[in-house]
């Protein structure tokens, strides 16, 4: 009796592995691997004439394109198109588009997208060491030196307790320690520069002398970032994606440190008021693309940028779930992805649980995030998260 399997192939590596197992030779594998990967690429805001041309080209190559019906009679200025085909068909489409001067900008965008989604590994340089992202998922421990953070407000506001907790997280396996001195919980108000410095600098100075893992400064203020790096920090984590203080990029350039750019809707004080997106992923991607452009224009090394979709920062419960489920969409930006779900309110809403009772939900979201594309996980509970990541990585890399 014949057995038919439905293979789940999402990368060239998986295609090569499956073909190799059935005995296909190297030449045949190279010819066929691009046909095993099917892609659905949505192109937004293009003239109907271009959309119709794309559909004809895809049909001629054996693929297809789904178009808004209004594009057929050109009754609107712009429409969206979903292009459906194999990786090989898209590569052949690029050759066709390159022959038309009017379509070369679209060709370049598609080429960049195909290049970015095929990336599996990244490298970021900190002063103490260089990390390869994409093999093992890395873990960033959260150290809030605040009296009012949503998850652990006040627990580590005392300097000595904060330092001791940072050392404990390193012992438990944290790859980075993210030190923050200002709460960014929904509705929180900003604090002054000097108060933020007073909270974080002594902790960073002490930890930098005692641990061999990089310390990240969680701030959107360039003045805090500069002083933190002078005190021993090796990474900047900006919740605003350079929207609250663009000068932060110049600090990253001057000090040559990795820069995390996160999406937020508004500010912590306003982000959860009247939350609405016309197109969730489109709006977040545009925001992050603009943040990346701003950073790179300032001189930040493109290889030193990490992106974070901002779970809980101006999103509904459903928004957060969709982001985690479809995290791989952010691969088109060509940057490693950081995911922070730890103890957040969407978990509390699902489980009807207070902050102190959200560990299982956090670990579930972490494991799924690893499988859907996260390169770095940011979490409060380091030991438990490290174990969850190890299992999720083993599943993700099975058969590699």
Residues 6+ apart with CB under 8 A from 182: 146, 188, 190, 191, 196, 199, 219
For 14, counting Cβ atoms within 10 Å of its Cβ (0-12 exposed, 13-18 middle, 19+ buried), the class is: middle
How do residues 25-75 score in pLDDT, each as one tens digit?
888 888 888 888 899 999 999 999 999 999 999 999 999 999 987 767 777
Q: What is the mean pLDDT of the chain?
A: 93
**Per-residue model confidence (pLDDT) at position 176:** 98
The pLDDT of residue 89 is above 90: yes
pLDDT score of 127:
92
- What tokens appear for 168 in the block? 């404990």
Per the annotation, the verdict on 386 as an active-site residue is no
- Choose between 36 and 143: higher pLDDT: 143
Active-site pick, 92, 315, 378, 386: 378
Mind listing the pLDDT tens digit for each residue in 154-171?
555 578 889 999 999 999
Please give the share of the chain, as a percent, with pLDDT higher than 70: 97
- Backbone CA torsion sign across 203, 205, 210, 213: positive
Say yes or no to pLDDT of 95 above 80. yes
Q: Which CATH class is domain 122-396?
A: alpha beta
306-317 pLDDT, tens digit each: 999 999 999 999
Which of 227, 335, 344, 358 is an active site residue?
344
Higher pLDDT: 158 or 271? It is: 271
Half-sphere CA count of 30, side-chain side, radius 13 A = 2
Query: Quick check: is 396 catalytic?
Result: no
Distance, CA of 253 to CA of 327 (rounded, Å): 28
307/133 Cα distance (integer angstroms): 13
Q: Which helix (H) or strand (E) holds 129?
A: none
pLDDT at 91 over 80: yes
Specify the 3-state DSSP secondary structure of 376.
Answer: strand
The pLDDT, as a whole number, for residue 304 is: 98
The per-residue pLDDT for 151 is 53
Work out whether the CA dihedral 149, 155, 157, 161 comes out positive or negative.
Answer: negative
Sign of CA dihedral 116, 117, 123, 124: positive
Looking at residue 10, its pLDDT comes to: 82
| CA–CA gap between residue 311 and residue 341 (Å, rounded) | 6
Predicted pLDDT of residue 323? 98
82's tokens: 């979903």
Longest CA span, the chain: 75
Task: Give me 31's structure tokens.
Answer: 């010819």
Q: What's the rounded mean pLDDT across residues 316-327?
A: 98
Sign of the dihedral through C-alpha 383, 384, 387, 393: negative
pLDDT of residue 70: 78
In the chain, domain spans: 1-36, 40-117, 122-396
pLDDT digits (tens, 9 = 90+) for 223-258: 999 999 999 999 999 999 999 999 999 999 999 999
**Taking the model in full, what pTM does it have?**
0.94
Split at pLDDT 50, 70, 90, the class of 382 is: very high
State the Rg of the chain over Cα. 23
Query: How sure is the predictor about 20, in pLDDT bands with cuts at 50, 70 and 90?
Result: confident
Q: Which DSSP category does 337 fall into?
A: B
- Confidence band of 353 (pLDDT split at 50, 70, 90): very high
**Contact criterion met (CB below 8 Å) for 62 and 85:** yes
């Amino acid at each position: 009796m014949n057995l038919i399997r439905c293979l789940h192939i999402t990368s060239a590596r998986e295609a090569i592995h499956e073909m190799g197992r059935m005995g296909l030779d190297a030449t045949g594998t190279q010819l066929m691997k691009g046909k095993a990967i099917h892609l659905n690429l949505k192109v937004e805001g293009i003239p109907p004439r271009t959309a119709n041309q794309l559909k004809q080209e895809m049909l001629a190559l054996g693929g297809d394109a789904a178009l808004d019906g209004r594009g057929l009679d050109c009754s609107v200025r712009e429409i969206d198109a979903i292009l459906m085909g194999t990786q090989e068909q898209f590569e052949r489409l690029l050759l066709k588009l390159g022959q038309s001067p009017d379509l070369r900008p679209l060709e370049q965008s598609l080429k960049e997208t195909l290049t970015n989604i095929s990336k599996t590994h990244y490298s970021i340089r900190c002063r103490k060491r260089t990390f390869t992202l994409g093999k093992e998922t890395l873990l960033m421990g959260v150290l809030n030196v605040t009296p009012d953070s949503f998850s652990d407000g006040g627990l580590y506001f005392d300097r000595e307790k904060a330092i001791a907790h940072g050392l404990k997280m390193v012992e438990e396996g944290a790859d980075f320690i993210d030190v923050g001195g200002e709460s960014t919980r929904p509705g929180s108000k900003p604090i002054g520069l000097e108060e933020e410095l007073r909270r974080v600098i002594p902790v960073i100075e002490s930890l930098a002398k005692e641990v061999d893992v990089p310390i990240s400064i969680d701030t959107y203020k360039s003045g805090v970032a500069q002083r933190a790096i002078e005190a021993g920090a090796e990474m900047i984590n900006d919740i605003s994606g350079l929207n609250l203080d663009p000068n932060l990029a110049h600090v990253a350039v001057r000090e040559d440190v990795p820069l995390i750019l996160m999406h937020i809707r508004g500010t912590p004080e306003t982000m959860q008021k009247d939350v609405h997106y016309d197109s969730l992923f489109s709006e977040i991607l545009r925001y992050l693309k603009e943040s990346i452009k701003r950073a790179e224009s300032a001189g930040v090394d493109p290889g030193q940028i990490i992106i974070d979709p901002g779970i809980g920062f101006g999103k509904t419960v459903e928004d957060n779930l969709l982001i985690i489920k479809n995290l791989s969409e952010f691969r088109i930006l060509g940057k490693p992805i950081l995911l922070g779900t730890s103890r957040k309110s969407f978990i509390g809403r699902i489980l009807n649980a207070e902050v102190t009772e959200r560990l299982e939900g956090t670990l579930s979201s972490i494991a799924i995030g690893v499988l859907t594309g996260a390169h770095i996980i940011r979490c409060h509970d380091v030991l438990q998260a490290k174990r969850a990541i190890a299992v999720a990585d083993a599943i993700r890399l099975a058969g590699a």
